Structure 1
Amino acid sequence: MVSTPPPRSFLCFIILFIISFAAAGAAALDTQAAYLAKMKEQFPGPGMSRWDLTPPAPDYCSFKGVACDRGGNVTGIDVTSWRLVGRLPPGVCAALPALRELRMAYNDLRGGFPPGLLNCTSLEVLNVSYSGVSGAVPDLSPLRALRVLDMSDNLFTGAFPTSIANLTALEVVNFNENPGFDIWRPPESFTALPRIRVLILSTTSMRGAIPPWFGNMTSLTDLELSGNFLTGRIPASLARLAGLEFLELYYNELEGEVPAELGNLTRLADIDLSENRLTGGIPEALCALPGLRVLQMYTNRLTGPIPPVLGNSTQLRILSVYRNLLTGGIPANLGRYSDLNVIEVSENLLTGPLPPYACANGQLQYILVLSNLLTGPIPPAYAACTPLLRFRVSNNHLEGDVPPGVFGLPHASIVDLSYNHLTGPVPAAVAGAANLTSLFASNNRMSGELPPEIAAASGLVKIDLSNNAIAGPIPESVGRLARLNQLSLQGNRLNGSIPEALAGLRSLNVLNLSCNALSGAIPESLCTLLPNSLDFSNNNLSGPVPPPLIKEGLLESVAGNPGLCVAFRLNLTDPALPLCPRGPGGLRRGLLGGNVWVLVAACALVCAVATVALARRWVLRARQDAEHDGAPTSPASSWSYDVTSFHKLSFDQHEILEALIDKNIVGHGGSGTVYKIELSSGELVAVKKLWVPARQRRRLINSSKQQQHQQGMHDGGGGWLGDRELRTEVETLGSIRHKNIVKLYCCYSGADSNLLVYEYMPNGNLWEALHGCFLLLDWPTRHRVALGVAQGLAYLHHDLMFPIVHRDIKSSNILLDADFEPKVADFGIAKVLQARGAAADRSSDASTTTIAGTYGYLAPEYAYSSKATTKCDVYSFGVVLMELATGRKPIEPEFGDTRDIVHWVSGKVAAGAEAEALDKRLAWSPYKEEMVQALRVAVRCTCSIPSLRPAMADVVQMLAEAGPPAGRTPKDKLDGSISKDSAAADQQPNATPK
């Protein structure tokens, strides 16, 4: 049969159809190219330079980050960590109708949620995490095809988008770290998500009980509800989630017992119930799970034993149950069959020996068992546990000789043996401790001599070997430990003289050599370490007391040395140290060295000062008499001042008052006027003059008159008592002796004004040094500033009877002396935290509820809580550290809307692009690696969850480890190119990051 050809008209129709289809396809491709070009225009910068969209026919399907189907339609865009800054152009779905995946994490997406995305009905994957997206989340119901939704770590506000319950194709939902949402409760409609595997709703302001219906979401493998305000019990219904591998409920307010039914979750690998109010025991069935790798239940009220079955685990990596009420022993086989990495069981009531096989598989990095009731020796095998980073067994009842290798662990940063019954010497093996920053072995029964080889552990920051039986001399080599800021050797049997070499320890804050058998003179060179804590009391020292110790009023630091004397007295009320014996010719031996003219000049100076002071008193008295007779007086002397001094003063109030004139003004702050005054001795001081408001002044004057009438006396010092800010600053600074805290000489308090007299800082403040136009600090100087500020804050947080929260740490409150050593200043809003009774409270995060601080430096928890803790200071310090490394201000337009330096730097670090954030003015610096390390420390300090920020004691150690190599110059590098640390200082950084 012969086929009949189709009609010509039909052929024409087919041809026209093909041509029109091809034309439509070409138009679609042109539309896609146009949108990508618009996208490149909206996100200027180096990231998009990879896209060459030059007409006429760009091959965009070959561009990095662009995926296409066979027809040339864009199906995916992945610009993760391209450091883009801008807004997504509108019409993305109209221009890219085949788009199935859009990944834009770790960028800076200006403005709110891109509204055009709601038209992307084919979109399956949307990831805009860590991108600073702010504002409300719209109804997401139109995104019917969505399988993966990741909007974590952003700045969303308003209502939580419960409309995700309508997206029945969802498999992964992640809204972690969006604390700006309104308080909400998860609706039961979430059970309509049949495919959901990962549900992460941590830190989203969720409140109320964990709904039992979560147990009906049987497809879940990962459920994370941490960092919320959840209350009540953990529902046993969660045991129905047979496929669950991760259960994270930490940082809530959950109570009651841990359900034993959780032992039915046979695939569970990671469970974290930490920081709640849980009671009862740790379920044995849970510890027997075959795949369990991480068990974290720290900071609860758990009782009973750690189930011994945990020692049989072949998978366990992390055991963290510190700060509970657990009893019994640590499982003997712990670590014997698994690659154990972390043991954290501190602050419990555990008894028995240390687990001998903990390091059997050579993976153990953390042994933290402090503050228990453990007994027996330190297992010899621990000496060969070379991966250890921290070894802390303090506050137990351990005994026997310390295995020598423990002191020489090559990677350990902290070795803490304090408050036990341990014996043996500090061995020469300590020379192998290349990374050791803190060596604590106080209050033991250690003996032998301190080895000179200790100087080989050049990273040491703190040494506390106090209250042992260590004998022999202090090695001269200790003076080579350039980073040392604490040397506590009190309460031993040390003999010989005090090495002059200790004067070279310029970072030293604490030097305590008391209660030993040291002899000879106190080297005057050690006084260069003032105003830090120096204690030479109760030894056999002899000779004259160095004058600076007398001037600073520190004679108590040399008490109990019968052979000490003073060369001469300026004050007959000084403590009764004897005058040094007279030498030939009737002179005092010692400091004057037999030079008659020096003594004569000194006496003449004393007489002159006394005469001038007496004359000034006569003048003031005459002026006051004239005032009573109606004669005019100068403003400075119109009121009487009471003086509260904290150091030996070389001036009197009249010298200060008469210098409060306009030409000496150097600045005005929010609380008053600052003067720079040169004293008659040539010394410079800074005076902050705070006026008392008129209403308060009238009240104080009336109160003063009433007291005079009732008591027959004048209370001229009442002025400052009415000013809480000034009182706080005076009480705080007056009690502090630290080289990195500005020295307050005295306070003059009166009815019309209050005067604070400080040491003068010739190099101004750090803000001016970093952001001004006249100075460029190199990195070694900046690192020294950072380390000094960290040491000062660590002193405030950890080394005082009651910790002090500064609450306004910022670069303008960090002053620089002539050598650019930093001094933390302006304690007007500081808060002394009162103890809460138990010793355990000392290590908890004490707080105050008065909101204070400066925008850009404030910790994010201020957005939903007025509680100020030491971790707020840590956050603010992290911002300062970012300033030091980047040279940028905390708030700059480049960072984008509602963005600050913390988000900007964190994004760089997360993307592995830290070097791009460094101060471009230091592009020549050979210390870029150290600067990057400092940025990483800063990111840890500014973690949005306060509990995950390190303690300042830890920050000091991290900065010391990240510092420029001691003794190296920039040329060398180019040619070659913590004391009363709380348990929490260790455990918080070691908690598994979420």
Structure 2
Amino acid sequence: MGLLRFLFLLTLQLSLFTLSSQATMTNQSYFFSLMNQTLSGNSLSRWNFSSVGVSDSYFCNFAGVGCDNRGYVIKIDLTAWSLTGYFPEGVCSYMPELRILHLGHNHLQRNFPISITNCSLLEELNMTHMNLSGSLPDFSPMKSLRFLDLSYNRFTGDFPLSLTNLTNLETMNFNENGDFKLWKLPVELSRLTKLKRMILTTCSIYGEIPRWIGNMTSLVDLELTGNFLQGQIPAEIGKLKNLQALELYYNQHLSGEIPDELGNLTKLTDLDMSVNKLTGKIPESVCKLPNLRVLQLYNNSLSGEIPRVIENSTTLTLLSLYDNYLTGTVPPNLGTSPNMMGLDLSENRLSGELPKQVCKGGKLLYFCMLQNLFSGEVPENYANCKSLLRFRVSNNRLRGRVPDGLFSLPHASIIDLAFNQFEGPIGKSVGSARNLSELFLQGNRFSGSIPPEISRATNLVKIDLSNNNLSGPIPPEMGSLRKLNTLMLQGNKLDSSIPDSLSSLKSLNVLDLSNNLLTGTIPESICELLPNSINLSNNNLSGPIPLSLTKWGLEESLSGNPGLCISVYPNPLEQKFPTCPKLHSRKRVNHIWLIGISVAFVIVGIALFLKRWLGKDKGVAKHNKTLSSSPFSYEMKSFHKINFDQKQIIESLVEKNVVGHGGSGTVYKIELSDGKAVAVKKLSTRKSKVLTPEDHLFLNKELKTEVQTLGSIRHKNIVKLYGYFSSLDLNLLVYEYMPNGNLWDALHKGRNLLDWPTRHKIALGISQGVAYLHHDLLPPIIHRDIKSTNILLNAEYQPKVADFGVAKVLQARAKDSSTTVIAGTCGYLAPEYAYTSKATTKCDVYSFGVVLMELLTGKKPVEVEFGESKNIICWVSCKVETKEGATEVLDKRLSCSFRDEMMKVLRIAIRCTSRTPAHRPTMNEVVQLLIEADPCNFHSFKSSNKVKEPSNETKTKNSSQ
């Protein structure tokens, strides 16, 4: 009986097991069918459902699926399958043995699938880059979880502190989830004794880095970048003996000195604490770390010398210390590391000679030493730095000859030697620099001729050889540089004629040949370059001026050439250029001229009589009176090819065409005869004094040059200045017309709510326009009055920066001006500008940050709800420091689906409006950050264990757009 009972029970168990196994197989099959219904994507075609019935575990042969020997699914990996839709609920109810679930880099919707938390056996969960949103659940049931990656999603609410119960956790990655409510690192995290990777980048953490973090001795990777951490870096981090990467950059408020104890981290390979407020010296102990590959401490307030011991490193790959207060000399053997790829020590106070061993390893890509006090010569062996992509040593005290081979670096895209004391010829080998796009040699003592071989560097976009001692001809071969955008040769001793071949440079935007010894006539063909900026002034040019140059108002760019003349009658510029000799008598010409004037007086007089008799607009009569009293007293300058009649403009300055008023004047919308609309600003004039011709503001050469500069700007995000009219009592600026008005009205008065993608497009466009002014022009232009009313919107809501304060500049420099005029508007004004009156590019960055806050919050810069004497910056700062979370400041009218992107932009706005100018980013940096925050296209903020771009291109003039 006992044996029979045993056999019966065994048979029963086997039957139950078989039934259970069959049920599991059925459940698993059903779940795959569910996934096939709820997910879409071409990659799913790899799942052959036609094999159903061939075997119970047919799905084990599916791509991305792994099973154990019983046919139970233990792994699903659909990473980067380009799937859309949503992942079905209940995965572990159907697949109870699941250990690995990888769904990252797909475009799924909905919130986090809560049922996943029932997967008690799950060890790996990867749901990065999945577009998930909403709050996160309690993760406590997932006791087996070792790997968790929820980075690059849109989670909101409280950070899931239930993770502190998962004591088997080894990796926790929440990179780029900045929509959490502000939270502090809780001591319970120290219970995760097996945790190796704690990546909490941009996760809305505030407060200080706690000292107990030194107890998490299993940590290999600690990343707390892009949060709101403050205070000193705790010395206890030095206890993390297994740490390989420590990244604390972009917290902005970490302060104090770098602890010497970090020198105990002997396994450390990557240390980045950039963009904070760190002070004191760089610890020698850190520079001795035996495995250090990346050391980035840029944009802090560090002082003292670079520890010489760093030159002994054999592992260093990247050293970026720019924008500090470092002094002394650079360790002479720096660069002996066989792996050195990037060295950026720019914007410090370093002196002495350049290090001679930087290229010894043969891998150096970036060498940036600009804006220091370096002296001496460029070492000869730099010509052997064949791997270099960028070589920048501008704004130092370097001298002597430049090694010829330096001009021919085969991979270099930028060679920048500007503003030093270099001498000798420009190396002919420059023709071998086939990858070179920007060559900056201005402000030196280079002599000899421009080598014709330069024409073989066919990728050149910008050439600036200005203010040197170059002589001889302009090589005609330069006409073959078809990509050339900027050619600046002014301030030399060039003595040839202007080559006709330059007319082949169809991409040319800036051509400056002024202040040379150029002779001959101006080629008619060069006029094909219009409407680009051309300056030929102060040479020995002679002969007739091409008509198009006079038509487009470029006479100022031709001044200082006594031999030039005008070949048309009557001569519109007789006071500036003589009339070219003609076969007929001068007396006859003058006679015809006088007749013409008389006829003009009669015609204008009749017109005035008829208009007054018929009761026409008084404003028109007033302007026509000005026109008739001095019919040829108007000076006109055009900067773009657009046809408009001077008289039509004047007659249209009537009340019905007014579209706006400002501190500098009245703006009119004027329809031209061809149907095109323009905006005309009539500048306010001072009525307290009768202006004489000597007082006439536009006859001031310096001011006209300033207007000429604005007219020469060519950028899609800067409003076009078509031209201007000027007389003794009327100054008009003619701009392109923007149908959607200004950003202020669109945000605060508009009937249509601008969604976040549109607002982001506007922010990015503004930043690109201002970055062009700051970084792509020499000298750079400081706008001084960036505000939402000066941001105009076209029909597609593409923004354009307008109103460069021309009227303010004119009035500030007028002879009857007794006070200093400070440009800027309350609420947008940088604090340092208010008390120093010194405008810098960082003032523009501050104002732009205020505009960003307007876009984010939908509020005005100054509102009653902010409190007395408080503005939007104070209000935002107070909000982000409270537990209610930074998300409370965001415009509640906007969709919450863009919260994470908006939070990224909020962090940018906070950086831009820092009270300390040095802590604000450059506009080029802002452009890049906004691109990374694009709501339509995610980009990595900054990935660890990768070589980061060391060059601070964005912080210098001449950087490429």
Which TM-score band applies after superposition, normalised by the shorter structure? 0.7 to 0.9
Kindly state the Cα deviation for residue 130 of structure 1 after the two structures are TM-superposed: 1.4
| Correspondence 1:794 to 2:769 | no
Q: Deviations along 1:847-872, whole A, 9 cap, x unmatched? A: 32034569999976444665679989
Q: What is the CA-CA distance between 1:31 and the residue it aligns to?
A: 0.6
In the alignment, structure 1 residue 460 sits paired with structure 2 residue 460: yes
SS in structure 1 at match of 2:81: coil
Q: Taking structure 1 as reference, are residues 190 and 447 closer, same or farther at Cα in structure 2, changes over 3 Å only?
A: same
Structure 1 residue corresponding to 2:936, chosen from 897, 901, 904: 901
Q: Does residue 296 of structure 1 match 2:296? A: yes
CA displacement at 1:360 relative to structure 2:
0.7
Query: Matched residues in 1 for 2:773 and 2:796: separation?
Result: 17
C-alpha distance in 2, partners of 1:826/1:453? 40
CA distance in 2, matches of 1:16, 1:604: 125
Distance 1:316 1:350 in 2: 20
Aligned residue number for residue 751 of structure 2: none
Which AA in structure 2 matches 1:28?
T
- Residue type of the alignment partner of 2:646: D
User: What letter is aligned with 1:211?
Assistant: P
Q: 1:686 and 1:482 mapped to 2: Cα distance?
A: 34
Corresponding residue for residue 511 of structure 1: 511
Q: Separation in 1 of the partners of 2:838 and 2:419?
A: 15
CA distance in 2, matches of 1:759, 1:952: 35
Q: How does 1:733-748 map to 2 (within 5 A)?
A: 735-740=710-715, 741-745=718-722
CA distance in 1, matches of 2:101, 2:329: 52
Equivalent residue number for residue 46 of structure 2:
50
- Stretch deviating more after TM superposition (53-62 or 429-438): 53-62
Counterpart check, 1:366 vs 2:366: yes
**How far did residue 688 of structure 1 move?**
4.9
Give, in angstroms, the shift of residue 734 of structure 1. Answer: 9.3
Pick 1 or 2: higher relative contact order, CA cutoff 8 A, min separation 6: 2
SS of 2:957's equivalent in the other structure is: coil
Question: Matches of 2:43 and 2:636 in 1, distance apart?
Answer: 58
- By how many angstroms is 1:348 displaced? 0.8
1:520 partner SS: coil
Gaps of 5+ in 1: 589-595, 628-632, 666-670, 693-702, 714-730, 763-785, 817-822, 883-889, 891-898, 911-938, 955-977, 987-994
**Matches of residues 67-466 of structure 1 in structure 2 within 5 Å?**
67-252=66-251, 253-466=253-466
Paired amino acid for 1:744: L
Q: In 1, Cα distance between the equivalents of 2:193 and 2:366? A: 41
Structure 2 distance, partners of 1:52, 1:807, is: 57
Aligned residue number for residue 520 of structure 1: 520
Q: Deviations over 1:577-607 (max 9, x none)?
A: 241342323379xxxxxxx99x999999999
- Give matches, 1:783-932, under 5 Å: 794-795=772-773, 797-799=775-777, 800-803=780-783, 813=794, 825=800, 827=802, 842=841, 846-848=845-847, 849-851=850-852, 861-863=904-906, 866=909, 900-903=935-938, 906=939
- Is residue 547 from structure 1 mapped to residue 540 from structure 2 by the alignment? no
Out of 637, 654, 658, which is 1:647 matched to? 637
Q: 2:479 matched to which residue of 1? A: 479
Q: Deviations over 1:780-837 (max 9, x none)?
A: xxxxxx9999799624654233058698999984999xxxxxx984648999898957
Q: How far did residue 377 of structure 1 move?
A: 1.3
The offset of 1:646, in angstroms, is 7.6
Distance 1:265 1:881 in 2: 35
| Counterpart code for 1:43 | L
Aligned-pair distance for 1:747? Answer: 8.6
Distance 1:532 1:795, change over 3 A: farther
Query: Within 2, Cα distance between the matches of 1:677 and 1:847?
Result: 38
Match of 2:758 in 1: none
8 Å Cα contact 1:761-1:815 kept in structure 2: no
Structure 2: which amino acid aligns with 1:96? M
Give deviations 1:98-153, integer Å, cap 9, x for gaps. Answer: 11111111111212111111211111111111111112122222222111111112
CA distance in 2, matches of 1:793, 1:276: 23
CA distance in 1, matches of 2:788, 2:950: 17
CA–CA separation in structure 2 for the residues paired with 1:366 and 1:520:
43
* Separation in 1, partners of 2:790, 2:18: 65
AA of the residue aligned to 1:180:
D
Q: Which runs of 5+ in 2 are unaligned?
A: 628-633, 660-665, 691-705, 740-763, 806-822, 857-893, 914-919
User: How far 1:650 sits from its partner (Å)?
Assistant: 5.2
How many residues of Structure 1 are paired with residues of Structure 2 in the alignment?
815
Question: Partners of 1:876 and 1:383 in 2: how far apart?
Answer: 34
Say if 1:22 and 1:637 are closer, same or farther in 2 by CA, change over 3 A.
farther
Could you tell me whether the CA contact under 8 Å between 2:442 and 2:466 is conserved in 1?
yes
Deviation of 1:445 after TM superposition, in Å, equals 1.2
* 2:23 maps to which of 18, 24, 27: 27
| Matched letter for residue 488 of structure 2 | S
Distance 1:790 1:526 in 2: 30
Contact map agreement 2:225 2:250 (CA 8 A) in 1: yes
The change in CA–CA distance for 1:570 and 1:559 in structure 2 (over 3 A counts) is same
1:687 has 2:678 as partner:
yes
Is 1:251–1:274's contact at 8 Å kept on the other side of the alignment?
yes
Q: Could you say what secondary structure the match of 1:102 adopts?
A: strand
Deviation of 1:742 after TM superposition, in Å, equals 4.9
Q: Which amino acid aligns with 1:291?
A: N
Equivalent residue for 2:14, pick from 18, 29, 35: 18
Sequence identity, in percent?
Answer: 40
1:658 Cα deviation after fit: 6.3
Instruction: State the alpha-carbon separation in 1 of the partners of residues 199 and 181 from structure 2.
Output: 17
Write out per-residue CA displacement over residues 344-388 of structure 1, whole angstroms, 9 at most, x where no aligned residue.
Answer: 000111111111111111011110001111112111111111110
Equivalent AA in structure 2 for residue 163 of structure 1: S
Aligned to 1:980: 957
CA 1:239–1:496 in 2, change beyond 3 Å: closer, same or farther?
same
- Relative distance call for 1:788 and 1:846 in structure 2 (3 A) is closer
Q: Counterpart of 2:878? A: none
> What are the superposed Cα offsets for residues 462-501 of structure 1, whole Å, 9 maximum, x if unpaired?
1111111111100111111111111111111111101122
Instruction: Give the residue type in structure 2 aligned to 1:802.
Output: I
Distance in 1, Cα, partners of 2:787 & 2:951: 14
Asked if the contact 1:275–1:300 (Cα under 8 Å) also holds between the matched residues in 2, the reply is yes
Rounded to whole Å, the distance in 2 between the matches of 1:642 and 1:612 is 14
Cα distance in 2 for residues equivalent to 1:74 and 1:493: 80
Determine the C-alpha separation between the residues in 2 that align with 1:295 and 1:840.
33
Q: Contact (CA 8 Å) 1:645, 1:745: kept in 2 or not?
A: no
SS in 1 for 2:120: coil
Partner AA of 2:26 in structure 1: D
| CA shift for structure 1 position 245 | 1.2
Partner residue, 1:677: 672
CA contact (8 A) 2:179 2:903 kept: no
In 1, Cα distance between equivalents of 2:518 and 2:238: 66
TM-score normalised by length of structure 2? 0.75
- SS of the counterpart of 2:3? coil
| CA deviation after TM superposition for structure 1 residue 528, in Å | 3.1
* In structure 2, distance between residues paired with 1:881 and 1:228: 19
Deviations 1:153-204 (A, max 9, x none): 2212221222211111111111111121111111111111110111111111
Amino acid at match of 1:794: Y
Shift of 1:759: 5.6
Cα distance in 2 for partners of 1:407, 1:564 equals 38
Distance in 2 between the 1:82 and 1:606 partners? 79
Please give the alpha-carbon distance, in whole angstroms, between the structure 1 residues aligned to 2:546 and 2:804.
36
**Is the CA contact (8 Å cut-off) linking 1:293 and 1:315 kept in structure 2?**
yes
- Retained in 2: the 8 A contact 1:83–1:108? yes
Two-structure CA RMSD over aligned residues (Å) = 4.9
Distance 1:146 1:602, change over 3 A: farther
